Amino acid sequence: MNNLQQKAQQLLESGNYGLIVGYEKGTSGKARPVFIRKAEHASKLIFDESCDQNIAVYLYRQEIKHDKKKVIVANHHTLKSIVELAAENQVFDGDFMVLAFAGNGDIIELNTFEEIEKHVATLYHGLTEAEAAMMKKIEDMSLEDRWAFWENEFSKCIKCYACRASCPMCYCPTCTVEINQPQWISVPSHTLGNLEWHVMRAMHLAGRCVTCGQCGKACPLELPIQLLTYKVALDSKQFFDSVAGTSICADNALAIFKPEDHENFIR
Amino acid sequence: METQNIYLPYIMQIEKVSEDAPFVKTFRLKFINPEDAESFSFKTGQFGEYSVAGVGESTFCIASSPTRKGYIECTFRKAGRVTTALSDLEEGNTIGFRGPYGNVFPIDEWKGKNLLFIAGGIALPPMRSVIWNCLDLRENFKDITILYGAKSVADLVYKHELREWDERPDVKLVTTVDPGGETHDWTGEVGFVPTILDKMAPKAENTIAIVCGPPIMIKYTFPILEKCGFADEMVYTTLENRMKCGFGKCGRCNVGKTYVCKDGPVFSLKQLKQMPDEY
Amino acid sequence: MERKLLTKDSYRSLITKLIGQNYQVVAPVKKDTMIDFLKISSFDEITEDYIVTVSSAKTVAFPRNEKLFDYEKQNKKLTQQDYDFDSIPQSVLIGVRPCDAFGFHSLSSIFCWDSIDKIYTTRLERTTIIGLSCNKSDDYCFCTSTKGSPGSTAGSDILLTKMTDGNYIVEIVTEKGAKLVADFSDLFTADGGVDKESLLAKVAANFNVDDVLAKINSKFEDEAFWTEQAMRCIGCGACAYVCPTCACFDIQDESHGGKGHRVRCWESCGLSLFTLHTSGHNPRENQGQRWRQRLMHKFSYMPDRLNTIGCVGCGRCSRACPVDMNIAEHCMSIIEN
């Protein structure tokens, strides 16, 4: 048994905790979320580079939301989402414990939002080199080429909403696409309606996207839709100095007004 | 209508609009195409998909009796997108209608029996079809009793027809409103439908009970009927589930393996008890 | 079953001629990062480098959007333009894996259940399915557990099996297939008698679907079981949309001014609002109930009501799932629990 499995076993045996949300080995070497309730199942837990999925989405899941004896094994994406969810009052201090990992692989117990926030401050918050290169490639395109690029991508979308379902920040019980009086976004999936959907989603995530890329990873058609929310995340940083997932009491850049804001339309 | 397209509606004209209760309207609909009027037939209990082009389709029962030829009627409460759009329409407007779908009340099997209709609120429309159907074939049945309740006096639908039934010597009508829903001149009962039913203590012998209402009313009505000695196969109700197609394909309305659109919407309590709690 | 041989050059000629004769030819094509069924205009667009395509072949008969009819509103009057059945093209669908081809059987059972969905049936009638046996498989494949096999002819009009020399064994399955072979008879030569079985992928049968069918009804009321089975499920529609047998749909109107059309478009029983009533009541209000519906539909309701199994073992849903809900594992859990 490795450190994580031992730790999980101890926590469950102690009786202080009843559920560990983490990762296990899935099909074909993929990692997947797992829910461990018994100490003897702790050996299923893994944590390695395959565990790049953001699993913060489970913290507010109806079935376990009110279970205060839960633990979540968090990678850096999940940690940032927890901070952002805390800032938006979607998760509550003391409702769960976080098991994070130090650079040397040591397990770190984080019990309060303050501890989580402090730990997250030590993490890298930018895009990876590969992601930054993709962003640059698109930003360097001419307007026509960029339009053609996205038109091609949106033509493939089947509107399965895997992007929305896997995003921890997409927690609205009724999404704008499901509001039909009026029908803001067309329901069938065609290029125009798909564009409406993804642009709307990106705008709703402005200043809230923690750039985990989970939406893109979830897409069965492999649309690089994370680039849209990355773009609004980078703009939020540039124009409002707002980086989502860094502060448990941050205000949302697009939901507040400051006298020193660049825009004057509201004055 | 010569088409092989099962999704293509009949075009129907709104001949008459009546406002039955706050947010509740009844449309009398006539076929635009005389051949459609000729070939169309339905039986009591069936439903259809009513549509406003550009807005969508909505499912509700045919509220008129098949004995009344040449038109169909529907009653709906303004609630969602389509019923809101329907509400805005006037006499002379045209709408789409697909149907009829679903099974029927087995009124042929009820010959020679007493009928006890129990309805609550906006659930009178599905029952209105079968009530008129039976009244138009009055000689086929023995005693006919109607118990109808709503939240308040204003919420009682088909007020003119309630008056008509009340005046008929061959119908016993009991109306009730929830406590607090009565007006100073209200002469009916005050109390929830199950309570009034309990007070009425209907005799179960040779009697069919037909129950339509909100889930909470149904839940408390069945035990009273049981207490009065009604066997499960003597009690009927209609189920409503969300539907899109109406013919067993879109995947929404099934309760376990039972498809409300094809196997229902009319079920006996006996059938209902064999179905899982998924409605 | 009659067998022929089709050389790789003749295969190229066949496809080229079909395109030349204005057939709509749909084939697996590598587009951007993935392989999917697309309309092709040249043989060279075709790829055979796939286990299965991302989306299923069902899109040919049950596209993600189908315009059911057009309408126009002027003043108070509504006019409707019926579906133009003549607009449905004669198609040839190539590279269809046996699992996918068999999926049409399940799909047809739904679209032909008493009321015939003529739009679907016409599309399928005008499609000739050229299957392609599987010579490789992956961890997600489980067709042999659901009564299929990597070389099954069921559902195809013609089944091709690639030989080691790059040529194909041709099995003529249906009359439609025989007609296509007759139309291009000069391209097909006598069968060389190569053993087909030895060319096929080996897919281990990890369970027997009959055991799932026998057990699943007794699990209906076991709420805790379904809740636990569905804990990981995040409630998107990916599984249903890529599934060759999932037929759930929505009907929506799309308008521009007074004109528009009614559209049948894919929807999924996994989505939380799928069964929501206007009143706010939802008969399937949690993900456990929705996951149960998905499995019960495939392994109980369809066998019961339509005499067909609603799963062909292609594993697409599991590959597409963002959280690795592996349906074969869930089937085994039903058997074991």
C255, closest residue in chain A (CA to CA):
A186
CATH number of the domain residue B156 falls in = 3.40.50.80
- Looking at the domain assignment, is residue B116 inside a domain? yes
Q: Provide the pLDDT for residue A253.
A: 78
Checking if the pLDDT of A254 tops 90, the result is: no
Note whether A74 and A165 are same-domain residues: no
Virtual CA dihedral for A22, A26, A32, A35, nearest 10 degrees? -40
Total count of residues recorded for chain C: 337
Provide the pLDDT confidence category of residue A261 given band limits of 50, 70 and 90: confident
Q: Are B265 and B246 in contact (CB under 8 A)?
A: no
A184, closest residue in chain C (CA to CA):
C254
Residue B148: which domain range? 107-238
Determine contact: C168 vs chain A, CB below 8 A: no
Note whether A68 and A173 are same-domain residues: no
Mean pLDDT value across residues C21-35: 95
**Tally of CB atoms within 10 A around C44:** 10
Q: Provide the pLDDT for residue C212.
A: 97
B contact chains, 3+ CB pairs < 8 A = A, C
| A220·C320 Cβ contact <8 A | yes
Q: Which of A98, A120, A142 is the last residue of a domain?
A: A120
Domain count, chain A: 2
Residue C112: which domain range? 2-336
**Tally of CB atoms within 10 A around A119:** 19
Note whether A103 and A31 are same-domain residues: yes
- Looking at the domain assignment, is residue A236 inside a domain? yes
Chain C contacts in chain B segment 258-277 (CB below 8 A): 259, 262, 276
Cβ-Cβ contacts under 8 Å between A and B: the total is 6
pLDDT in tens, C48-89: 999 999 999 999 999 999 999 999 998 878 999 999 999 999
Mean pLDDT value across residues C295-309: 97
Q: Provide the pLDDT for residue C233.
A: 97
- Mean of pLDDT over chain C: 96
Residue A110: which domain range? 3-120
Checking if the pLDDT of B1 tops 70, the result is: no
Note whether B167 and B186 are same-domain residues: yes
Note whether A60 and A164 are same-domain residues: no
The secondary structure element, H or E, covering residue B212 is strand B207-212
Q: Are C161 and C133 in contact (CB under 8 A)?
A: yes
Provide the pLDDT confidence category of residue B47 given band limits of 50, 70 and 90: very high
Note whether A13 and A116 are same-domain residues: yes
Output helix, strand, coil percentages for chain B, rounded to the nearest 5.
30, 30, 40
Q: Are C323 and A33 in contact (CB under 8 A)?
A: yes
Q: Are B236 and B269 in contact (CB under 8 A)?
A: yes
Determine contact: C55 vs chain A, CB below 8 A: yes
How far apart CA C142 and CA C66 sit, in angstroms, is 31
CATH number of the domain residue B35 falls in = 2.40.30.10
How far apart CA B84 and CA A181 sit, in angstroms, is 9
How far apart CA C190 and CA C169 sit, in angstroms, is 10
Residue B57 tokens, joined: 């389709």
Nearest 5°: CA angle at C47, between C42 and C50? 155
Q: Provide the pLDDT for residue C165.
A: 95
How far apart CA A11 and CA A39 sit, in angstroms, is 8
> Which residues contact residue A33 at a Cβ distance below 8 angstroms, ignoring those fewer than 6 apart?
A21, A22, A23, A24, A53, A55, A58, C232, C323
Q: Are A93 and A113 in contact (CB under 8 A)?
A: yes
Q: How far apart are the first and last CA of chain A?
A: 61
Contacts C296 to B, Cβ<8 Å: 256-257
Note whether A33 and A88 are same-domain residues: yes
Phi, psi of C158 (to 5 degrees): -135, 140
Residue A91 tokens, joined: 């998760």
In this structure, which amino acid lies at residue A186?
A: S
Q: Which of A120, A146, A162 is the last residue of a domain?
A: A120
Q: Are C97 and C314 in contact (CB under 8 A)?
A: yes
A51, closest residue in chain C (CA to CA):
C323
Determine contact: B244 vs chain C, CB below 8 A: yes
Q: Provide the pLDDT for residue A267.
A: 55
In this structure, which amino acid lies at residue A152?
A: N
Provide the pLDDT confidence category of residue B2 given band limits of 50, 70 and 90: low
**Residue B201: exposure state from Cβ atoms within 10 A (0-12, 13-18, ≥19):** exposed
Note whether B56 and B121 are same-domain residues: no
Mean pLDDT value across residues C182-192: 94
Helices assigned H by DSSP within chain B: 34-39, 81-87, 124-136, 159-167, 193-200, 215-227, 269-274
Pairing of strands B47-52, B94-101: antiparallel
Shortest alpha-carbon distance between residue B4 and chain C (Å): 6
- Looking at the domain assignment, is residue A246 inside a domain? no
In this structure, which amino acid lies at residue B53?
A: A
Work out whether the CA dihedral A212, A217, A221, A223 comes out positive or negative: positive
- Looking at the domain assignment, is residue A29 inside a domain? yes
Q: Which of A254-263, C25-34, C99-108 is predicted with the least confidence, judged by mean pLDDT?
A: A254-263
pLDDT in tens, A24-49: 999 999 999 999 999 999 999 999 99
Contacts B56 to C, Cβ<8 Å: 251-253
Give the up-direction half-sphere exposure of residue A73: CA atoms within 13 A in the CB hemisphere: 30
C65, closest residue in chain A (CA to CA):
A188
Mean pLDDT value across residues C304-326: 97
- CB neighbour burial string for A38-77, b if at least 16 within 10 angstroms, e if fewer: ebebbbbbbbeeebbbbbbbbbbbeebbeeebbbbbbbbb
Indicate the residue of A27, A165, A174 with minimum beta-carbon distance to C236: A165
Residue A233 tokens, joined: 């995340």
B278, closest residue in chain C (CA to CA):
C283
Contacts B244 to A, Cβ<8 Å: none
Virtual CA dihedral for C91, C97, C99, C105, nearest 10 degrees? 20
In 3D, which of C117, C298, C262 has the Cα closest to residue B246? C117
Checking if the pLDDT of A4 tops 70, the result is: yes
Determine contact: C301 vs chain B, CB below 8 A: yes
Note whether A7 and A116 are same-domain residues: yes
- ipTM score for this prediction: 0.93
Note whether A135 and A113 are same-domain residues: no
How far apart CA C65 and CA C267 sit, in angstroms, is 10
Indicate the residue of A35, A162, A188 with minimum beta-carbon distance to C236: A162
| C254·A186 Cβ contact <8 A | yes
- Looking at the domain assignment, is residue B243 inside a domain? no
Note whether A138 and A204 are same-domain residues: yes
Extract the runs of DSSP E, i.e. beta strands, from C32-106: 34-39, 65-74, 77-81, 91-96
pLDDT in tens, C249-272: 999 999 988 899 999 999 999 999
3-state SS string over chain A?
A: CCHHHHHHHHHHHHCCCCEEEEEEECHHHCEEEEEECCHHHHHHEECCCCCCCCCHHHCCCHHHHCCCCEEEECCHHHHHHHHHHHHCCCCCCCCEEEEEECCCCCEEEECCHHHHHHHHCCCCCCCCHHHHHHHHHHHCCCHHHHHHHHHHHHHHCCCCCHHHHHCCCCCCCCCHHHCECCECCCCCCCHHHHHHHHHHHHHHCCCCCCCCCHHHHHCCCCCCCHHHHHHHHHHHHHHHCCCCCCCCCCCCCCCCCCCCCCCCCCC
| B84·A183 Cβ contact <8 A | no
| B84·A181 Cβ contact <8 A | yes
Q: Which of B101, B119, B154 is the last residue of a domain?
A: B101
| B241·C277 Cβ contact <8 A | yes
Domain count, chain C: 1
* Placement of tokens 């796939």 in the chain: C50
> Which residues contact residue C66 at a Cβ distance below 8 angstroms, ignoring those fewer than 6 apart?
C119, C263, C264, C265
Q: Which of A86, A120, A154 is the last residue of a domain?
A: A120
Checking if the pLDDT of A259 tops 80, the result is: no
Provide the pLDDT confidence category of residue A125 given band limits of 50, 70 and 90: confident
Checking if the pLDDT of B6 tops 80, the result is: yes
Note whether B205 and B111 are same-domain residues: yes
**Tally of CB atoms within 10 A around B226:** 14
Among B81, B87, B88, B244, the strongest candidate for a mutation testing the A interface, having the largest count of A CBs within 10 A, is: B81
The secondary structure element, H or E, covering residue C209 is helix C209-216
If you compute the radius of gyration of chain B from its CA atoms, what whole number of angstroms results?
Answer: 18
Residue C304 tokens, joined: 């019961």
Residue A225 tokens, joined: 């839709």
Note whether A136 and A203 are same-domain residues: yes
Note whether B92 and B128 are same-domain residues: no
What Cα–Cα distance (Å) separates residue B277 from each residue in B254, B272, B273, C260, C282?
Answer: 11, 9, 9, 39, 12
Provide the pLDDT confidence category of residue B233 given band limits of 50, 70 and 90: very high
pLDDT in tens, A164-192: 999 999 999 899 999 888 888 989 999 99
Provide the pLDDT confidence category of residue C1 given band limits of 50, 70 and 90: confident
How far apart CA A80 and CA A168 sit, in angstroms, is 10
Q: Provide the pLDDT for residue C131.
A: 98
- Mean of pLDDT over chain A: 93
Mean pLDDT value across residues C285-290: 96
Residue A213 tokens, joined: 């890329």
Determine contact: C320 vs chain A, CB below 8 A: yes
Domain count, chain B: 2
Checking if the pLDDT of B3 tops 90, the result is: no
CATH number of the domain residue A168 falls in = 1.10.1060
Mean pLDDT value across residues B58-72: 95
Nearest 5°: CA angle at C35, between C31 and C38? 70
Note whether A157 and A224 are same-domain residues: yes
Checking if the pLDDT of C234 tops 60, the result is: yes
Mean pLDDT value across residues A138-165: 96
Note whether B126 and B21 are same-domain residues: no
Q: Provide the pLDDT for residue C202.
A: 96
**Residue C288: exposure state from Cβ atoms within 10 A (0-12, 13-18, ≥19):** buried
How far apart CA C254 and CA B56 sit, in angstroms, is 9
In 3D, which of C172, C103, C162, C154 has the Cα closest to residue C135? C162
